[in-house]
Structure 1
Amino acid sequence: MKQFFNVDFAADTIFLKLATDVTISMCRLAGFNDTTAKDISLAVDEAVTNTIKHAYHFDKTKRITLQFTITEAELTIDIRHNGIPISDTEIHLPDMEEYMKQYRKGGLGIVLMTRIMDSVAYGSVGDIHYCRLVMKRGQRHAN
């Protein structure tokens, strides 16, 4: 059985807390423990922030939709937008040793998302673009 829940909001950083709070609630509904729920909400925060910054260039008139899908096997969160798309082939994870030598600020959001989530993917369906975050359900994340 699949369960769906969508939330739509303006592409404005004032809604980041809403996105993380809804994510924590959906994670709990899916049976994840509090630690995992907070980790997943951090990944969603990063994905939404990247959408606001890179896909929309801080244009607050644009919209973001979070779609949560809960199945027996996993929780899938799609961060959807119709801004500038990104594809998996454009993602390059930094060499952490080099990164630490240069001590740059920022640029680790995707690294963080890939370390938290079981899967992170980017794609498009028509002119709707998405970042898809997937966390498998199971003993290591359960209450």
Structure 2
Amino acid sequence: MLKTILKQRDGVSLVEVLGALVILSLILIGFFSMFTQTSSMQNVTEEEVQASNLINIVREDVKQLTFSSNDTGYYESFDSLDLTSVENNGQIVANNDFFATIEIKEETETNNLLKVTINLLNEDDRRVAHTYTYVEVTNNE
């Protein structure tokens, strides 16, 4: 019976070939778009991991400094803060693709702590990491 069916068909019609190509194209388009999305997400994730590691370095560097109550303010340039992990213009020493900003505020509930908020920005000025820490005021000048 199979032989008779195969003998009656001489080949595949053009419509069947085109239909198969359309279905195959739709599958491949979905498959390749998944690859491009995965690649772009990997780049974003890699940037966030780098930023997270760098901001931890800056935070530890900030904790090593001594602060007075006069040090409050917003810092984009670090001439007055002696941070080894950040250049004077705000670039991170370990990776020049990132810039740091630091805001130091007095803690309202206690008079001997300062809240230090650290932001890490990429080259497009987009914030990619954010953290804060508390530092003790050594002298109230």
| TM-score relative to the length of structure 2 | 0.34
Asked which structure has the greater RCO (Cα within 8 Å, sep 6+), the reply is 1
In our comparison, the structure showing a higher alpha carbon Rg is: 2
Task: Give the structure-1-normalised TM-score.
Answer: 0.33
